[in-house]
Amino acid sequence: MADIGRGRDVTTGRRQFLAALAVVPWGLAGCQFTKSAPTPATKADNDAFPVSVQHAFGETVIESDPRRIATLGPVSNDTCLALGVVPLAMPLSEAQPNGSTPWFDSVWKKFGVDLPLLLDVSKGLPVDELRGMGPDLILAVNSQITRAQYDELSTIAPVVVSPDASSIADWRSSLALIGKALGRQDESERVRLETEARITSDLNSYPDLAGTTFVVVKARSAIGADLEVMGAESSAVRMIEEWGLRLSPSVSLVGQEGRALGVSQMASTSYSWPESRGADLFSDIAVISVMHKESGQIEAAGVLGTIPAHMRDTYLMADSKDGALALDTGSCLSSQWLSRTMLPELAKSAFKAKQGV
């Protein structure tokens, strides 16, 4: 499972979960977890329930306005929050010490409530924890859970997954799907329009971005390690294209000659590419995604030396704890956060590329 979360140390997640249990009533085996879910900041649409949601594994019927929501994957976390609903539990992230992400926190803190309980998903689905919490809805959009896992989770609560098990839902599709499941289609439309307005404003502010070609490459510091080139269907590429940039034609060559990388039942969204052929990744600019622990080593290792945009200094580094993770998440919240953090840097690189600076 990929999007289900990038968990930190297993024992850390377990300690956090057990610490949460220590401050709330917890009875004998089989009793329900009794922590109260935060009151939503928005109301469900009139006559929204019951609602039937179609997805990759069939149909899920949600009888009433869900309040005890568990999410599996950052897209579900972020979208819930954008719609004014704080989930009861979500997977823990390695992005920050508190187990959350910067873009989630930037909105969550406005609610004035506790952070959702953090589920350690590094060893698989936290079925026992979910069963004990007694959720009334499990959102697993882009979580890449299998049909068997879906069936198991469905014995706990109604489950909603992506519309298509073979592809990653973009932020608009995720927003519409989750908005329907939460009975907040009017609010989801408002959030969509707000996010698109922000994107339009960004395009007007940075005219050099339009038509600039780019590649997104994940690199590791180990000498000889293959590069990972993100394909057209990846969240990272989709997010950057929103700002008017154009995926480099070189990625078509990678798709033909590279080794497709796939996880679970998802179609490939990236390709393994030899470091020795970095010169083939021609583009105006490049976004280089690196692991946080290697961020200070990657330049010294020399593994980026032949990538044309790196040689021209029209590239930017994206750390796995912030920018790279936000691109991979591909949610309305991460999009808005990236517009404040990464977009100005992309614009600088685009300007340099066009001016030949």
- Contact indicator for 345, 316 with CB cutoff of 8 Å: yes
- The conformation of residue 292, written as its DSSP 8-state character, comes to G
Q: Are residues 180 and 208 in the same domain?
A: no
**pLDDT value for 34:** 53
- Is 1 within the bounds of a domain? no
**pLDDT value for 268:** 66
Say which amino acid occupies 109. K
- Is 260 within the bounds of a domain? yes
**pLDDT value for 262:** 63
Give the end of a domain, one of 185, 212, 230.
Answer: 185
Q: Name the token pair of 148.
A: 């068997």
**pTM for this structure?**
0.87
- Is 208 within the bounds of a domain? yes
Q: Which of 18, 41, 40 is nearest to 137 (CA)?
A: 40
- Is 3 within the bounds of a domain? no
> How many Cβ atoms sit within 10 Å of the Cβ of residue 97?
8
Q: What are phi and psi of 180, to 5 degrees?
A: -70, -45
- How many domains are there within the chain? 2
Domain of 100, in residue numbers: 10-185
**pLDDT value for 33:** 54
Q: Are residues 140 and 180 in the same domain?
A: yes
- Cα torsion 21, 27, 31, 32: sign: negative
According to DSSP, the β-strands at 117-119 and 89-91 are parallel
Q: How far is CA 32 from CA 24, 129, 137, in A?
A: 11, 10, 15
* Residue range 66-99, pLDDT digits in tens: 999 999 989 999 999 999 999 999 999 999 999 9
- Is 226 within the bounds of a domain? yes
d(CA 135, CA 348): 46
Q: Are residues 277 and 163 in the same domain?
A: no
> How many Cβ atoms sit within 10 Å of the Cβ of residue 29?
5
Chain centroid to CA 126: how far? Answer: 19
Q: Are residues 153 and 213 in the same domain?
A: no
Q: Are residues 170 and 237 in the same domain?
A: no
According to DSSP, the β-strands at 270-273 and 227-230 are antiparallel
Q: Which of 124, 7, 139 is nearest to 72 (CA)?
A: 139
Mean pLDDT by runs of 10 across the 357 residues of the chain is 36 36 32 69 96 96 96 95 96 93 95 92 88 95 92 97 86 97 98 94 90 96 88 94 96 94 64 95 97 83 88 94 95 95 95 84
DSSP structure string for 153-182 = HHTTS-EEE-S-TTS---HHHHHHHHHHHT
- Is 142 within the bounds of a domain? yes
Q: Are residues 122 and 260 in the same domain?
A: no
Q: Are residues 180 and 215 in the same domain?
A: no
Which of helix, strand or coil describes residue 212?
A: coil
Q: Are residues 275 and 165 in the same domain?
A: no
Q: Are residues 64 and 178 in the same domain?
A: yes
Q: Are residues 27 and 156 in the same domain?
A: yes
CATH of the domain at 252: 3.40.50.1980
User: Which residues make Cβ contacts (< 8 Å) with residue 90, sequence separation at least 6?
Assistant: 70, 71, 76, 77, 116, 117, 118, 119
Q: Are residues 240 and 104 in the same domain?
A: no
Q: Are residues 37 and 139 in the same domain?
A: yes
- Is 190 within the bounds of a domain? no
User: Which residues make Cβ contacts (< 8 Å) with residue 225, sequence separation at least 6?
Assistant: 219, 275, 303
